[in-house]
Amino acid sequence: MGIAMCWFRKDLRLTNNPAWANACDEGHVLPVFVIEPSMVNAASLRKRELFYSHLLALQEQIAALGGNLVIVDGPAQKTLPKLVREYGVDSLHFNDDSSPISRVRDEQTISLAGIRAVRYWGNLVHAPGSILTNSGSVHKVFTPFYKKWAAQEIPSYSEPEKIVFADVDAHLNATFDINLSSAITPGSLGASQRLNRFLQKAADYKVHRDFPAVDATSHLSSDLHFGTISPRTIIEFLDYSSESGEAFIRQLAWRDWYAHLLFASPEIVDSPANPIYKAIAWRDDNDDYAAWKEGQTGYPIVDAGMRELHETGFMHNRVRMITGSFLVKHLLIDWRLGERHFRQLLLDGDLSQNVGNWQWVAGTGFDAAPYFRIFNPIRQSMKFDKDGEYIREWVPELSGLGNKEIHAPWTVDKISLGKGGVYLGENYPFPLVDHVIARERCLATYKAARDMAC
């Protein structure tokens, strides 16, 4: 038997992993993970520590089977070809990635390694290129994509028939400092636990998913990002016929769609998918941008979301839309700045998903929210956090205000504010902008960009 290298990336699991299964079935398997300095350094400390925790959990899984996950420092273009030559590797197996940077790296690595490479799409439900319009392109509108996506049979992956490990030098492994105090149980075990907890409340997902104070979401997004669980595994446990089951599966379809779009149009990382918006005159006010990042905009629901992100690396999806819309539409700050900030801090900060969602909010993407849809943060707050529970958790200086007052404290009289312990301009800021004025400014700016493109 020859030696088959399984190059782990964002697929830190052994089950429902085609790259792993096929490498095991082809020969003596050599599991490898390459730590890419540029990617690790671009992530927040909290995100790096979670990644390392997942990586060590995978290493322990492989060790329990009698093998060793070789963890080496990158870049992969330098490290993998060296390992290939040193151990006489015959084939390279890995799960593909739609990221433009990853694709360039992969092509260079394959070329330099000089061996047969077998690529899979084990981190998506359906591979890019498998869901296309009649003209052979990726759907630019989600609904028709989803209809084809949902109707297509999900490919099944077999598990390894046997596992025989290649002999490797255990001293190869890179070392890294890690804080294991995270409350998140790492690896596939933790992902399975989170899936089981979600399944116990999944029947109410569609009803409660938009309310940030309610624990109604799956908490599986970072597991999908790091690949500690496969989206196909999740689908196996959900009921398509139920409204909540279908609603969650639809989110997995959105995830596939954004990956397919990025694979087909890598330029959307840095450029609006709809070129009509290339000429938007962004303000890019540094002070406003800093206030937004710090949760000091004066709009409680926005500030709550940004503080949750900073403190936990997570933000509820409804609040992501509100905070993103506020940055782009109210402050007229380039969506790319917000996208990079979110991607750095979010534990589930995946390139295709993050870019797709930010372009949706900005109105510049495929099937995006219309440019004239500008979320009113006060109405959003009153609708989805009616009693202010979420705001009180993350903006405690407003906790003394009533359920109606808490959504827009600048509209409350000074006596009532004082009774609640709120002093605008002292322990909580005045709003950066007036919603009505900001809305009109945004509409005029977007209209000017559209007129220039005509």
In CATH, what number is assigned to the domain containing residue 235? 1.25.40.80
Which residue bears the tokens 């000017």? 448
Report pLDDT for 146. 97
- In this prediction, residues 35-42 reach a mean pLDDT of 90
Is 288 within a domain? Answer: yes
Kindly indicate the confidence band of residue 366, based on its pLDDT and cuts at 50, 70 and 90.
Answer: very high
Q: 254 in a domain, yes or no?
A: yes
The answer to whether residue 174 is domain-embedded is: no
Same domain, 112 and 139: no
Residue 161 falls within a domain, yes or no?
Answer: no
Find the CATH number of the domain harbouring 45. Answer: 3.40.50.620
pTM: 0.95
What's the mean pLDDT in 247-263?
98
Query: Does residue 128 sit in the same domain as residue 107?
Result: no
**Could you list the residue range(s) of the whole structural domain that residue 293 is in?**
275-453
pLDDT tens figures, 133-183 = 999 999 999 999 999 999 999 988 889 989 999 998 766 677 666 665 567
Task: Give residue-wise pLDDT tens across range 87-121.
Answer: 999 999 999 999 999 999 999 999 999 999 999 99
Higher local confidence (pLDDT), 21 or 173: 21
Q: What are phi and psi of 318, to 5 degrees?
A: -60, -40
Same domain, 214 and 86: no
Share of the chain above pLDDT 90, in %: 90
Task: For residue 400, give Cα distances in angstroms to 214, 304, 419.
Answer: 21, 15, 8
Q: Please tell me the predicted confidence (pLDDT) of residue 1.
A: 73
Question: Within this chain, do residues 115 and 229 fall inside the same structural domain, yes or no?
Answer: no
pLDDT of residue 183: 72
User: Could you tell me if 327 and 340 lie in one domain?
Assistant: yes
Q: Which of 264, 285, 303 is the last residue of a domain?
A: 264
The last residue of a domain, from among 206, 229, 264: 264
Contacts of 277 (CB under 8 A, 6+ apart): 362, 363, 364, 371, 446, 449, 450, 453
Domain annotation covers residue 13: yes
Specify whether 252 is located in the same domain as 394: no
User: In this structure, is residue 334 part of a structural domain?
Assistant: yes
- CATH number for the domain spanning 423: value is 1.10.579.10
Q: What are the Cα distances from residue 360, in Å, to 112, 257, 421?
A: 38, 13, 38
Q: Is there a single domain that holds both residue 128 and residue 8?
A: no
Are 239 and 223 found together in one domain?
A: yes
Mean pLDDT on 429-433: 98
**Higher local confidence (pLDDT), 62 or 38:** 62
**300 and 401 in a common domain:** yes
Mean pLDDT of 224-230: 98
Residues 232, 148, single domain; the answer is yes
Give the pLDDT score at 156.
Answer: 85
pLDDT average, residue stretch 256-266: 98
Mean pLDDT for all residues in the chain: 95
Of 264, 286, 311, the one marking the end of a domain is 264
Residue 264 pLDDT more than 70? yes
| Per-residue confidence (pLDDT) for residue 168, from 0 to 100 | 86
Q: What is the pLDDT of residues 350-364, one digit of tens each?
A: 999 999 999 999 999
For the chain, percent of residues with pLDDT exceeding 70: 97
Domains in the chain: how many in total?
Answer: 3
Could you tell me if 115 and 248 lie in one domain?
Answer: no
Identify whether 167 is part of a domain.
Answer: no
Identify whether 210 is part of a domain. Answer: yes
Q: Give yes or no: residues 118 and 129 share one domain.
A: no
